[in-house]
Amino acid sequence: MINLFDAFNQQEKPHIALCNPNYDELYSLSALYNTDITLRWNSQSEFSFTFPKTVNGTDLDAYDYIKEKELYL
């Protein structure tokens, strides 16, 4: 996994987006937290996370579109 660092040597959070199978970006998932990745070299890897339904009283549209086994970039 490639780790990106800024000018102050702080690790940057990667951009993760919810996409259609043809890679058209639908929603940014920048509000996610509790990320965990399990890499499996000869099988399907897993990426789990927690995504809030609301932030500061504002509903996040992406919440209703997150499903298991979707393509996230």
Domain segments of the chain as ranges: 17-65
If you average pLDDT over every residue of the chain, what do you get? Answer: 82
The 10s digit of each residue's pLDDT in 12-23 is: 677 888 888 888
73, pLDDT greater than 70: no
Query: What predicted TM-score, i.e. pTM, was given to this entire model?
Result: 0.67
Average pLDDT value for residue range 50-71: 83
C-alpha dist (Å) from residue 32 to 3, 35, 51:
18, 7, 5
| 60 token code pair | 């996040």
